[in-house]
C-alpha cells in the first residue's frame, strides 16, 4: 500500500463572528489541507492552521516547505496500520534556518501526518485512537464521550452577564475567559462572570501574551479572588523566563501555549520551572503524534496538560482532536469541535460539533473519523497544488 498522490490546498474558512483576544482579531482563517491518495484508492485528509505569531508560519511558507521536504521518499508504503504509524512518526520537513525551537513547520507537518494516518486508517479500518494505543499505551484510556469547555472572548458589561448565563444554562462544567484585552477591566469582568456561572464552575483565564513581566504577577493576583484554576500564556514568548519567578508570587497554576510548540520548548520549560501545565494543540505542536509525545513528557514529569484547538479548524482537524481527546487520559481541560458554533462553511457533511454541556461522542469512523467532501472543500479552496502524482 503506497502513496500515489499528495495534494496541498490553501483554504479560507469564514467565521460566523469576529474572534478577538489580546493579540489578534480574526474574521476568517487561512488553513492548509493536504489530501493523500493510496494505491487502492483510499483517500485521507489532514489540516494545519499556520499562525505567524505562534510558529512563524504562513500559508505561503507552509506550501513552500512542503515542496522542498522530499515527501515522496518519506511517505513510504506500509503493510498495516502499525507500520504506517511508525512511518508517520518519522516525518521530518526541511529545516527552517534559525528555528532553534524546532516548531516553524508544525502546521505543515500536522497536515501531512494527519492525511497519511487518515488514508492508511481508512485503508485498514483503523481509527486514530489506535495511534495512542500503539505508541503510548500508558496514556491510552478510550472514552465513549468527552466534554468540551465553553469560552468567553471579549464580552464585558451586559454581554459578559449574558455570556455567563449562557455558559451556565448550556450546561458547561468548564469555561475559559479571554483576558488582557485593551480597555477591559478584567477583575470586574471576572466578578460578573463568576456571579453568573456560579461557584461550582471551573473558570480559567487566557491572557494571550498580554502582560509585561513587571505587571504579570499583580494582574494574576487581582483575578485570584474569583477562583481561577489556571492562567494561560500571561506574557510574550520572549519574556517566558520571567514566569519562573512569577510562579513563586501567585497561587494560580501557569499554562504555556504560544511558548509550548515543541519538545524543545517542553524541555526548556521543565528545566527552568516556567509552568505547571501545557496547552497541546495538534496543529501548533506538529500533529497527533508529537502532541502525544508532549503529553507523555508532561505526565512523566508531573505537569498537567489540556488539549486546545485553533480558531477556524474544520471538521478534519476537529475529528483528529476528538480522536485524541477520546483516547488520552488525564486531559485537564478540553477545547475544540466548535464547528457549527463558529464557522460558516465546513468540509464534511457529518456534524461533529459539541452538544449541550460540551458533550461529544467518540467518533466511530476510521482515520480521523470524518470524511471531507470534495465539493464542500472546493467551495473554500483558494488554490491547490499537486506535490506527488
Binding-site annotation: residue ranges for Mg(2+): 206, 232, 257
Q: Over the Cα atoms of the chain, what is R_g? A: 20
Cα 107 from chain centre: 10
Distance CA(88)–CA(120), nearest Å, equals 10
Q: Which residues contact 215 (CB under 8 A, 6 or more apart)?
A: none
| Cross-strand pairs, 334 | 307
Strand-pair partners of 44: 36
Region for 273 from its dihedrals, namely left if φ exceeds 0, alpha if ψ lies in -120 to 50, beta otherwise: left
N-terminal to C-terminal alpha carbon distance within the chain: 15
Q: CA-CA distance, 388 to 36, in Å (whole number)?
A: 9
Question: Grid coordinates in use for 212?
Answer: 509585561
Q: What is the spatial distance between Cα 114 and Cα 230, in angstroms, rounded to a whole number?
A: 30
- The C-alpha cell at 346 is 465546513
Amino acid at each position: 500500500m503506497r502513496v500515489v498522490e499528495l495534494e496541498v490546498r490553501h483554504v479560507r474558512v469564514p467565521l460566523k463572528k469576529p474572534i478577538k483576544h489580546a493579540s489578534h482579531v480574526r474574521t476568517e482563517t487561512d488553513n492548509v489541507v493536504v489530501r493523500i491518495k493510496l494505491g487502492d484508492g483510499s483517500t485521507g485528509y489532514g489540516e494545519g492552521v499556520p499562525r505567524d505569531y505562534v510558529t512563524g508560519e504562513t500559508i505561503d511558507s507552509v506550501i513552500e516547505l512542503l515542496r522542498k521536504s522530499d515527501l515522496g521518499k518519506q511517505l513510504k508504503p506500509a503493510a498495516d496500520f502499525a507500520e504506517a504509524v511508525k512511518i508517520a512518526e518519522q516525518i521530518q520537513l526541511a529545516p527552517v534556518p534559525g528555528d532553534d525551537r524546532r516548531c516553524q513547520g508544525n502546521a505543515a507537518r500536522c497536515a501531512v501526518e494527519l492525511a497519511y494516518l487518515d488514508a492508511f486508517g481508512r485503508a485498514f479500518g483503523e481509527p486514530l485512537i489506535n495511534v495512542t494505543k500503539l505508541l503510548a499505551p500508558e496514556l491510552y484510556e478510550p472514552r465513549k464521550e468527552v466534554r468540551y469547555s465553553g469560552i468567553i472572548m471579549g464580552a464585558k458589561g451586559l454581554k459578559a452577564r449574558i455570556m455567563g448565563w449562557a455558559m451556565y444554562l448550556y450546561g458547561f462544567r468548564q469555561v475559559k475567559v479571554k483576558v488582557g484585552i485593551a480597555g477591559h477591566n478584567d477583575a470586574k469582568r471576572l466578578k460578573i462572570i463568576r456571579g453568573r456561572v456560579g461557584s461550582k464552575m471551573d473558570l480559567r483565564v487566557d491572557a494571550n501574551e498580554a502582560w509585561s513581566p513587571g505587571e504579570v504577577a499583580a494582574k494574576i493576583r487581582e483575578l485570584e479572588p474569583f477562583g481561577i484554576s489556571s492562567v494561560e500564556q500571561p506574557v510574550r514568548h520572549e519574556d517566558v523566563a520571567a514566569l519562573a519567578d512569577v510562579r513563586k508570587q501567585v497561587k494560580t497554576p501557569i499554562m504555556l501555549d504560544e511558548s509550548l510548540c515543541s519538545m524543545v520548548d517542553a524541555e526548556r520549560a521543565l528545566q527552568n520551572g516556567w509552568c505547571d501545565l501545557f496547552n497541546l494543540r495538534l496543529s501548533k505542536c506538529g500533529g497527533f503524534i508529537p502532541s502525544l509525545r508532549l503529553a507523555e513528557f508532561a505526565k512523566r514529569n508531573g505537569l498537567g496538560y489540556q488539549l486546545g484547538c485553533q480558531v477556524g479548524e474544520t471538521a478534519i482537524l476537529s475529528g483528529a482532536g476528538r480522536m485524541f481527546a477520546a483516547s488520552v487520559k488525564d486531559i485537564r481541560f478540553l477545547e475544540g469541535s466548535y464547528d457549527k458554533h463558529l464557522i460558516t462553511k465546513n468540509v464534511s457533511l457529518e456534524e461533529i460539533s459539541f452538544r449541550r454541556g460540551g458533550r461529544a461522542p467518540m467518533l466511530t469512523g476510521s482515520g480521523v473519523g470524518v470524511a471531507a467532501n470534495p465539493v464542500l472543500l472546493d467551495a473554500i479552496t483558494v488554490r491547490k497544488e499537486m506535490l506527488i502524482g
